[in-house]
A and B are shown apart, each in its own frame.
Chain A
């Protein structure tokens, strides 16, 4: 299978930056088994640690093209290229004020993949001090849509009125 098609399939299923690290570790473990006497099943078990959908893509691809002494170098090269492509995946750093659950992460990821680009990942950060809203960093651009900033601006503009209310 060509590396680009495999990358597109996997990238669509990756949600956050941490997922990429997990896939990279598994791919490294997998290529290390090439010159050992492991069976196909044993090799495929390596991918069981990954999210189900990604593990399925990888095992299905391997099943189509079993590893033999003749083609293992070609397969290794494809996997290395895939790993490189995954490493170079662009990401959007998203800082929010709460620890999101799995469904929320999927919601964020799906929106980005649909509206921005399918191979973009989320680098999710958690910071209580922003109170609410979000901070976005992508391609060196910084956008502060946090409640903290809104409050600070509001305090600057309506400082006297707020002080009056408090006293």
Chain B
């Protein structure tokens, strides 16, 4: 960035600050200023043109330091941009591409891209066809996602949303996807925690954290998700699949509301400005499955997060986001208190495009599970009268308990899709009757699968060889001992005396 004097000499346009209200500045002059153009004040502070009136230019400040009336300001002729490049992988940056850790230095990327652009047109898009693994069993089995999907993560505070995001990033980064985490107005300690997690999991070379803390100016916080999307678009154009996590858009909406109310815009519902829907829609529309000019297909999968209050999913921002995404995962506070981890409610959660990416086998499992869990939900009321319940009801309740135990997983763990299918088949064929043994066996299977290439090959062979769920179940029943031995589980054979 050049100095104020250099820009003044280059553009030959000057303005004077007439009024300043927190992060909004009104300046006279600058006759050729354009919307979204960066302006620079004589003290070196920067801002962006928000709107133009007959006599004045409305500027949103990017600085914490106050601007005084009478100060000089000039145009820069450039739009908001962020440096993009592979140099940023493994770094934590702000929306201007500067490192959050000021003691560190990296090679500066040579290319910059505008932060806020229009989404690509329909001719560059392709139907979502590839499956997106989250590593979370309940989601991969019941609410499957596709690459390029926009799935809203919604739930109350402390219901495991962030843990789910960690698991998904962990899984995707290990598969080679570039993961961008956009922390919007987060606590600095939270940003540090995320950095620590990525580093500890060894995935920091495939991740970028773009974050703003709550103490940053509202104008900068507002830019965070847009900057993250610009980075994602760069990596997509370079031939990578990208995952963008936006944590969270409810905070983003609140900061946008703050700017607009200070800017004297007419308040609408819940005091949000009239264009709040457009603000989020044009951001999320930049995600999707794209055909690049060279014919290759690469996706930007987006997981925006929104917080609900007391389980109310009908809030203004929440419903707006639901309508502009391809489904949502609802984190249920009741399920969380019951001990389900992750507490995803499969009955309220929706995936509009994920199922079309599933293989016939996974689709059958998905249907079987959904219809079984629906039946279980109906029968759940009878669980209080277990003594009087029939054998069929008792069996359904017992299997459901095993299924929910199978869905439980730690927040640091991302499971393989094939392995999930095999464990499900073992469970479905009633191999386990005892819950404790089942939990113990699943831990062993996970461990063995991770370390044994032969186990991985066997499972792959089993799944690729099966045409349908029934066929797979048949094979597993026949070769149960062999499979379990390969997965490290000791098979106890009960012989009739």
Count the A-B residue pairs with Cβ separation under 8 angstroms: how many?
Answer: 24
A143 at the binding interface (Cβ < 8 Å) = yes
Contact of B31 with A141 in the complex, beta carbons under 8 Å: yes
A139 at the binding interface (Cβ < 8 Å) = yes
Which residues from 1 to 48 on chain B have a C-beta closer than 8 Å to any C-beta of chain A? Answer: 8-9, 11-15, 28-31
Residues of B within 8 A of A137 (CB): 14
A144 at the binding interface (Cβ < 8 Å) = yes
Residues of A contacting B: mostly: strand
A140 CA / B74 CA spacing, docked (Å): 9
Contact of B28 with A140 in the complex, beta carbons under 8 Å: yes
- Taking the closest CB of chain B, its distance from the CB of A50, in whole angstroms, is 27
Residues of B contacting A: mostly: mixed
A137 CA / B15 CA spacing, docked (Å): 9
| Partner among B9, B29, B74 whose Cβ is within 8 Å of the Cβ of A139 | B29
A113 CA / B11 CA spacing, docked (Å): 27
Residues of A within 8 A of B28 (CB): 140
Q: Which 9 A-B pairs have the closest CB atoms?
A: A140-B29, A142-B14, A140-B31, A142-B12, A140-B30, A140-B13, A137-B14, A140-B15, A142-B8
A76 at the binding interface (Cβ < 8 Å) = no
Known pairs A140-B15, A141-B12, A144-B9. 10 more at Cβ < 8 A?
A: A139-B31, A140-B13, A140-B28, A140-B29, A140-B31, A141-B14, A141-B31, A142-B8, A142-B11, A149-B9
The listed residue with most B CB atoms (<10 A of its CB), out of A139, A141, A149, is A141
The listed residue with most A CB atoms (<10 A of its CB), out of B8, B14, B28, B30, is B14
- Taking the closest CB of chain B, its distance from the CB of A21, in whole angstroms, is 16
Q: Which residue from chain B places its CB closest to the CB of A142 in the assembled complex?
A: B14
- Taking the closest CB of chain A, its distance from the CB of B11, in whole angstroms, is 8
Residues of A within 8 A of B11 (CB): 142
Contact of A143 with B31 in the complex, beta carbons under 8 Å: no
The listed residue with most A CB atoms (<10 A of its CB), out of B28, B29, B74, is B29
Mark B residues whose CB is within 8 Å of A: 8-9, 11-15, 28-31, 74
A161 CA / B101 CA spacing, docked (Å): 44
Number of interface residues of A (CB under 8 A): 8
Sampled A-B contacts (24; CB under 8 Å)? A137-B14, A139-B29, A139-B31, A140-B13, A140-B14, A140-B15, A140-B28, A140-B29, A140-B30, A140-B31, A141-B12, A141-B13, A141-B14, A141-B31, A142-B8, A142-B11, A142-B12, A142-B13, A142-B14, A142-B74, A143-B12, A144-B9, A144-B12, A149-B9
- Taking the closest CB of chain A, its distance from the CB of B70, in whole angstroms, is 12
Residues of B within 8 A of A143 (CB): 12
- Taking the closest CB of chain A, its distance from the CB of B177, in whole angstroms, is 48
- Taking the closest CB of chain B, its distance from the CB of A164, in whole angstroms, is 27
Which residues from 93 to 139 on chain A have a C-beta closer than 8 Å to any C-beta of chain B? Answer: 137, 139
- Taking the closest CB of chain A, its distance from the CB of B274, in whole angstroms, is 30
A142 CA / B11 CA spacing, docked (Å): 8
A148 CA / B13 CA spacing, docked (Å): 18
A140 CA / B8 CA spacing, docked (Å): 11
- Taking the closest CB of chain B, its distance from the CB of A127, in whole angstroms, is 13
Residues of A within 8 A of B30 (CB): 140
A143 CA / B10 CA spacing, docked (Å): 10
A12 CA / B14 CA spacing, docked (Å): 27
A151 CA / B354 CA spacing, docked (Å): 67
A140 CA / B55 CA spacing, docked (Å): 10
- Taking the closest CB of chain B, its distance from the CB of A141, in whole angstroms, is 6
- Taking the closest CB of chain B, its distance from the CB of A57, in whole angstroms, is 30
Q: Which residue from chain B places its CB closest to the CB of A153 in the assembled complex?
A: B9
Residues of B within 8 A of A141 (CB): 12-14, 31
- Taking the closest CB of chain B, its distance from the CB of A138, in whole angstroms, is 10
- Taking the closest CB of chain A, its distance from the CB of B87, in whole angstroms, is 32
Which residues from 30 to 63 on chain A have a C-beta closer than 8 Å to any C-beta of chain B? Answer: none
A144 CA / B12 CA spacing, docked (Å): 8
- Taking the closest CB of chain A, its distance from the CB of B74, in whole angstroms, is 8
A24 CA / B29 CA spacing, docked (Å): 24
A137 CA / B30 CA spacing, docked (Å): 11
A126 CA / B454 CA spacing, docked (Å): 85
A129 CA / B11 CA spacing, docked (Å): 21
Residues of A within 8 A of B9 (CB): 144, 149
The digit string for A50-88, where 1 denotes a CB below 8 A from any CB of B, is 000000000000000000000000000000000000000
Residues of A within 8 A of B8 (CB): 142
Q: Which residue from chain A places its CB closest to the CB of B9 in the assembled complex?
A: A144
Q: Which residue from chain A places its CB closest to the CB of B12 in the assembled complex?
A: A142
Residues of A within 8 A of B14 (CB): 137, 140-142
The listed residue with most B CB atoms (<10 A of its CB), out of A140, A143, A149, is A140
Residues of B within 8 A of A140 (CB): 13-15, 28-31
A149 CA / B12 CA spacing, docked (Å): 13
Residues of B within 8 A of A144 (CB): 9, 12
Residues of A within 8 A of B31 (CB): 139-141
Residues of A within 8 A of B13 (CB): 140-142
Q: Which residue from chain B places its CB closest to the CB of A140 in the assembled complex?
A: B29
Q: Which residue from chain B places its CB closest to the CB of A137 in the assembled complex?
A: B14
- Taking the closest CB of chain A, its distance from the CB of B55, in whole angstroms, is 10
A141 CA / B14 CA spacing, docked (Å): 6
The digit string for A2-18, where 1 denotes a CB below 8 A from any CB of B, is 00000000000000000
- Taking the closest CB of chain A, its distance from the CB of B58, in whole angstroms, is 15
A137 CA / B73 CA spacing, docked (Å): 13
